Structure 1
Amino acid sequence: MGHAMGLAVRRGRWGGTAGNRLSRATLCLCALLLTLAACSERMTAERALPHPDARIQPIFVATERKLDKTGPFFGFQRPEGMNYFRADISVPPTHQVGVIEWPDGPPDAASDFVVTGTHVYDGPGQMIGDIRRAGPGRETLVFIHGYNNTLSESMYRLAQIQTDFATNMPAMLFSWPSAGDPRGYIYDRDSVMFARDDLVALLDRLTARPGDKVFLIAHSMGSHLAMEALRQAKLSGKTRLLSRVSGVTLMSPDIDPDLFDRQAEVIGKLPQPFLIFISKQDRALSLAGFITGRKPRLGVIDEAEKITRSDVTVIDFTELADGNNLNHFVPVTSPAAISVLNGIISQAGREGTGFLRDMALKLPTARAVQP
């Protein structure tokens, strides 16, 4: 086991037999959180005039959410086809690391995340052409959101990640049709399978030219979708696509550990680096474990489960959890975690290895255990 400023890192096997039972107090807390979330009002992205000191983050979006032709909203209904657009997200000059500054009143680019412009594409070809012109290299960051996420929340989260980690590659959001409702857990799990083929097709287009690369960042249930897409690519013989995935990060993955093992077995050689970010204080995944049968999810894995692959690096953010967002998004909402990761990224960048490319090598790790 290695440690770096609160990070615990393992490569290879996890051992032990500790149980993972939810106490009555935990169940009551989960029920309370579910009730409060169901009753709370969801924020939506709003337009405003640009501010000269704000930072504009172009977010390219491929979504299976149905476009409401009467306004700039995408719902949770599953459409027959994909929609493609770009949203220019303005990040305020007063932005604090790890925070999405939602408006308290009328949206103001001086203090809030706002949308300053949009462009809807006729198809994927037009959007991918703009993506290729947007960055200095040939690599695209693809973000796959998790359960109970709206399109507005996912766009703003990706813009916040782009800002706080100062990435310079084009960013694309793959927005699958989550219900955007905490009561829609089963609906969202079905939507992941509904979205799998469309994600594979999109990644295939993004990596069509020699030298094209994609780096996948998936959160929560989106991690299940990412793994299913890689598995589907393998079964479909899309070796070119798999060879052009330059890395994968699964944050707080909402996946059964046994299922992850089977998915990884089918995929075979995993893209490198392949990182799993966990937090044992993740209350959202504790609830997911209860819903799915009281078995711990991959994002809260402990001594009760094993990862036997030496090509997977697990990074434990438990000590950096700050209580925000149910500790379900610690690597990008905790200022301490962001600071640690930025230090690693900066070192990798100075050595010419790019965004998170050699994170597994830069962090102190335990000796890899061969499967």
Structure 2
Amino acid sequence: MAVFCLAAMLVACSPRPAAQFAPPDPAASVERIYVATELDLDDLGRQFGQKRPSGLKFLHVDVSIPPTHTPGKVEWPEGPPDAATDFVMTGSHVYRGSGDMLGAMRRRSPGNETLVFVHGYNNTFSDAVYRFAQMRADFGSDEPGLVYSWPSAGDPRGYAYDRDSVLYSRDDFKRVLDALTKTGNDRVLLLAHSMGAQLVMETLRQAALSGDRALLNRINGVVLMSPDIDTDVFRAQAAAIGELPQPFLIFVSQQDRALSLAGLLTGRKPRLGTLKDPTLLQGIEGVRVIDFTALGDGEGLNHATAVTSPAAISVLKGLIAQAASGDEAFDDYMVLDADP
């Protein structure tokens, strides 16, 4: 534990990269990322120790992906930002409200489904937006994509702060989902990473307990990636929700070092994202687990292997294509091989 605390302090004192604007490069691709956030738009950095902001804001950011991009990687600038080699922002716009944003979104992409990404612990606004842009570029997503940027401390010392921020953000996140599914035809697909999975599950639980099955029925699927949730808590949440949105996928890895540390911080209880025994989820209908243990992410923590490992991205894209063609792609419990 002392080693963890020392490492956290060292990381906390190191400079944190932030998204920067730069002129576009004609060879780069651009991902438009819509954002809903409580954050003060004039203070998008670390929130550690600060009063949590209130009131939702809606905007979009155009993120340029360099032509030299390597799948799974976010190429942060090492000097002045350059769209030829780095992730950069090339444009942004703040909307008057959710309706204004949704109208712009539908005019640009006429489909009725929105992919919603909920980031995890120790993420700044810049971290979340760039990571989601990387995911969309690597997987070739074409539906509109929105980041829900909740007030994470953006600091490794802020684990407890972030757990409280998740509880603080439940009502606002439900308001965002309500706005995105306002009409009967609108649908959302939820992708949550790490502690963001706790926020998603708590919000779905809240909807179920309030009798809002209409919202739950407009969720076209849930993916919990490396979920930082106690397994007992997840079972209780799932029981309260009842019929889970489908498909419902959980990405796990027993090599997830970040979740191993989280387990130490939470009473030596293994987290859902390091699940070894799928029978622990027995009786929860509709849950499918994909084990990425054999596929390291190349970044050392193995905490987002599904979207940071080129091998995992390739395998997952194949499974998604198979599912899109109408074939059964996902078993109840799948162990992915490093050499398929």
2:309 equivalent among 318, 334, 340: 334
Aligned residue number for residue 77 of structure 2: 103
Quote how far apart the aligned CAs of 1:37 are. 1.9
Q: For residues 281 and 56 of structure 1, do their structure 2 counterparts lie closer, same or farther at Cα, with a shift above 3 Å needed?
A: same
Question: By how many angstroms is 1:222 displaced?
Answer: 0.2
SS at structure 2 position matched to 1:44: coil
- Alpha-carbon spacing, 1:211–1:290, altered in 2? closer, same or farther (3 Å): same
Matched, 1:162 2:136: yes
d(CA) in 1 for partners of 2:279, 2:293: 17
Q: Which residue number corresponds to residue 329 of structure 2?
A: 362
- Trace 1:166-181 onto structure 2 (pairs within 5 A): 166-181=140-155
Structure-2 separation of matches of 1:326 and 1:252? 11
- C-alpha contact 1:142 1:173 (8 A) present in aligned 2: yes
Match of 2:123 among 149, 174, 190: 149
Q: Distance in 1 between matches of 2:144 and 2:127?
A: 19
Aligned match of 1:268: 242
Which whole-Å deviations, capped at 9, do the CAs of 1:169-224 have from their partners, x for residues lacking one?
00000000000000011110000000001111110111111211100000000000
The one-letter amino acid of 2:211's match is G
**After superposition, what is the alpha-carbon deviation per residue over 1:97-146, rounded to whole angstroms, capped at 9, x for unaligned?**
00000001100000000000010112111111112223241100000000
CA distance in 1, matches of 2:134, 2:333: 32
- Could you tell me which residue of structure 1 aligns to residue 253 of structure 2? 279
Question: Which residue is 2:189 aligned to?
Answer: 215
Letter in 2 for 1:129: G
- SS of the counterpart of 1:173? strand
CA distance in structure 1 between the partners assigned to 2:304 and 2:186 by the alignment = 29
1:293 equivalent in alignment to 2:293: no
TM-score where L is the length of structure 1: 0.85
SS where residue 296 of structure 1 aligns? coil
C-alpha distance in 1 between matches for 2:45 and 2:185:
33
CA contact (8 A) 2:289 2:333 kept: no
Conserved? CA contact 2:202–2:237, under 8 Å: yes
Correspondent of 1:126 among 100, 119, 122:
100
1:74, distance to aligned residue in structure 2 (A): 5.5
Which residue does 1:186 correspond to in 2? 160
Q: Unaligned 5+ residue runs, structure 2?
A: 335-340
Counterparts of 2:17 and 2:245, CA distance in 1: 35
Deviation for aligned residue 1:346: 2.0
Query: Kindly tell me: are residues 96 and 292 of structure 1, through their superposed partners in 2, closer, same or farther at Cα, counting changes over 3 Å?
Result: same
Aligned partner (choices 1, 16, 19) of residue 45 of structure 1 = 19
Correspondent of 1:317 among 265, 278, 292? 292
Determine the C-alpha separation between the residues in 2 that align with 1:30 and 1:143: 28
Query: Structure 1 unaligned runs (5+)?
Result: 1-26
Identity of aligned residues (%): 56
Q: Structure 1 residues 366, 80: closer, same or farther in 2, change over 3 A?
A: closer
User: How far off is 1:236 after superposition?
Assistant: 1.8
294 and 304 in structure 1: CA distance in 2 versus 1, 3 angstrom threshold: farther
**Distance in 1 between the 2:131 and 2:15 partners?**
18
Counterparts of 1:78 and 1:145 in 2: how far apart (Å)?
A: 17
Residue by residue over 1:265-312, the C-alpha shift from the partner in whole angstroms, topping out at 9 and shown as x without a partner, is 010000011000001011100111111111101101223971121310
Q: Which has the higher contact order (CA 8 A, sep 6+)?
A: 1
Distance 1:89 1:366, change over 3 A: closer
Amino acid at match of 2:100: Q
Cα 1:324–1:42 shift into 2, 3 Å = same
| Match of residue 3 from structure 1 | none
CA gap of 1:181–1:295, structure 2 versus 1, over 3 A, is same
Measure the CA separation in 2 of the matches of 1:202 and 1:143. 12
Q: CA deviation at 1:33?
A: 3.4
Find the residue that maps to 1:248 and give its secondary structure: strand
Q: TM-score, normalised by structure 2?
A: 0.93
